[in-house]
Amino acid sequence: MARRLFSAAGALVPPVPAPAPAPVPASSSAAAEAAVSLLPLLPCKRRKKLLKKLNSPRIAPIEPEADRRVPALDAVLDRDAAFRFLSRARSFMASLPPPHRIPLAEAGKLYRELGFPRGRSVSRAAARNPLLFTRTTVGSVPHLAFTPLMCSLLEEERRVHEELLPARVLAVRKLLMLTAHRRLPLAKLHHCRAVLGLPDDFRDRVRDFPDDFRVAVDPDGLHVLELARWDPALAVSALEHDFMVDERRIRRTFRFSVPHRRSMPLDGEEAERLDAATTFPLVSPYTNGALLRPWTPEAEKYRVGVVHEFLSLTLEKRALIHHVFEFKEELGLTRHMYQSLRKQTRAFYLAGTEMNWAVFLRDAYDDDGVLRDKDPLVLFNEKLQGYACMTEMDPRRSIAE
**Per-residue pLDDT at 300:** 87
- Alpha-carbon dihedral angle through residues 57, 59, 62, 66, given to the nearest 10 degrees: -140
Which residues fall within 8 angstroms of residue 241, CB to CB, at 6 or more apart?
A: none
Helix (H, G, I), strand (E, B) or coil at 223: strand
- The string of pLDDT tens digits covering residues 42-53 is 667 666 666 666
Amino acid at 283: V
- The string of pLDDT tens digits covering residues 249-274 is 777 777 776 655 555 565 566 555 65
Indicate the class that CATH gives domain 78-146. Answer: mainly alpha
1 in Cβ contact with 251 (< 8 Å): no
- The string of pLDDT tens digits covering residues 79-128 is 999 999 999 999 999 999 888 999 999 999 999 999 998 888 999 999 99
Alpha-carbon distances of 193 from 6, 200, 203, 396, rounded to whole Å: 30, 7, 9, 35
**Per-residue pLDDT at 259:** 59
Helix (H, G, I), strand (E, B) or coil at 290: helix
372 in Cβ contact with 161 (< 8 Å): no
For the chain, the domains span 78-146, 162-227, 233-378
Nearest Cα neighbor of 88 from 106, 111, 105, 104 is 111
Confidence of residue 9 (pLDDT cuts 50, 70, 90): very low
220 in Cβ contact with 265 (< 8 Å): no
Q: Is the peptide bond before 232 cis (omega within 30 degrees of 0)?
A: no
* Cα–Cα distance measured from residue 380 to residue 245, given in angstroms and rounded to the nearest whole number: 30
Nearest Cα neighbor of 337 from 349, 347, 325 is 325
Mean pLDDT over 132-148 rounds to: 93
- The string of pLDDT tens digits covering residues 147-157 is 999 999 999 99
User: H or E segment at 230?
Assistant: none
